[in-house]
Amino acid sequence: MNPQSTLPPTPAALPQTGARKGAGRRGKGRRSEVGLFAGLGHIALAVWAVIVIVPILWTFLASFKNTTEIFSSPWTLPGELRWENYARAWTKANVGRYFLNSVIVVGLGTFGTMLFGSMAAYVLARYKFWGNRVIYYLFVSGLAFPVFLALVPLFFVVKNLGLLNTHTGLVLVYIAYSLPFTIFFLAAFFKTLPSSVAEAGMIDGCSHTRLFFQVMLPMAKPGLISLTIFNVIGQWAQYQLPLVLLSNAKDKWVLTQGIADISVNAGYEADWSGLFAALTIAILPMIIVYAIFQRQIQSGLTSGAVK
């Protein structure tokens, strides 16, 4: 037997063992804290999901009921699928016209926002010139300015331009309202794109315009898709701006105005099933769009950080 194996541990070895045990206890404590916060986070997300999903599901089920079922048995399944509620909302309540108006306004507004926003963000992110930061911060400052504070002066500006109660005026306001976040997001995204590709394009004879549209813009596709979906959802759900700028042109109302009008009239006509059918028509397109492009949205939000 080795006589050294019977010797007691040296004093120098004792503190090291205690330190390792203390470090292990601290590590376990940190892991337990992380697990606790993760559990609380999951509970909060579950509660939030219930708060969001239950009203949407209830609206969808109520759209197939009649008025008696909505008030007598609100939490039960409908007795039958009454598709006539949707037909009545689409034709009698003019939801079809409002839906088409929303598609036109949001489509043009989103297209203009992405076109002008991407061009401005690209220049501010990739070119150095005097006043670059000033212009960028002026755009970004729009994020801190609530739109309802500008409703009165905005009304008179649009009126003086002769665009009040027109889709053109509303589209221009939508573009201006959506540009700050678009430029803020895309400027950071364009900065992550490799400069070597742009330099190679310039060497091959690309003009600045061709370089942007044929080289840099396709490379920013993930970010463009994500931001396009955000702008579509934000403009689709907008209510204050159409209410002020299209107040006297009922035939040009968008979907949010039409549903608000249906909601007011439902109290007198008792057509609650038509109201919930109209709400479902307004909600479903955005849910479908988000479900289809969910992966693209997530990749667009994370690709800039990865690069």
Domain that holds residue 132: 85-306
Q: Is residue 218, in this structure, part of any structural domain at all?
A: yes
| Residue 86 identity | Y
Least confident residue range of 9-23, 49-63, 67-81, 238-252: 9-23
Q: Is residue 122, in this structure, part of any structural domain at all?
A: yes
Give CA–CA dist 112/120, Å, rounded: 12
**Tokens (6 digits) for 28:** 């376990």
Helix/strand/coil for 206:
coil
**Tokens (6 digits) for 161:** 């331009």
Q: Is residue 33, in this structure, part of any structural domain at all?
A: no
The residue written with tokens 């892991």 in the block is 31
Per residue in 90-141, pLDDT (tens digit) is 988 788 999 999 999 999 999 999 999 999 999 999 998 998 999 999 999 9
Give CA–CA dist 224/220, Å, rounded: 6
Q: Is residue 27, in this structure, part of any structural domain at all?
A: no
Give CA–CA dist 134/23, Å, rounded: 50
In total, how many domains does the chain have? 1
**Across residues 63-77, what is the average pLDDT?**
87
Per residue in 292-302, pLDDT (tens digit) is 877 766 666 66
Chain centroid to CA 70: 31
Per residue in 13-66, pLDDT (tens digit) is 445 555 555 555 655 656 666 677 788 888 998 999 899 899 999 999 999 998
Helix/strand/coil for 75:
coil
- The string over 57-73, giving b where at least 16 C-beta atoms fall within 10 Å of a residue's C-beta and e elsewhere, is eebbbbbbbbbebbeee
- Is residue 266 very low, low, confident or very high in pLDDT (cuts 50, 70, 90)? low
Q: Is residue 164, in this structure, part of any structural domain at all?
A: yes
- For the beta carbon of residue 29, count every other beta carbon within 10 angstroms: 10
Chain centroid to CA 173: 18
- Identify the pLDDT of residue 3: 47
**Across residues 156-182, what is the average pLDDT?**
94
Biggest CA pair distance of the chain: 104
- Identify the pLDDT of residue 17: 55
Q: Is residue 70, in this structure, part of any structural domain at all?
A: no
Q: Is residue 242, in this structure, part of any structural domain at all?
A: yes
Look at phi and psi of residue 270 and say left if phi exceeds 0, alpha if psi is from -120 to 50, else beta.
left
Give CA–CA dist 207/96, Å, rounded: 45
Give CA–CA dist 91/85, Å, rounded: 10
Q: What is the CATH number of the domain that holds 185?
A: 1.10.3720.10
**Tokens (6 digits) for 144:** 């801190």
- Identify the pLDDT of residue 235: 93
Q: Is residue 258, in this structure, part of any structural domain at all?
A: yes
Q: In sequence order, which residues have a C-beta less than 8 Å from that of residue 17 and are 6 or more positions away?
A: 9
- For the beta carbon of residue 119, count every other beta carbon within 10 angstroms: 16
Give CA–CA dist 168/304, Å, rounded: 34
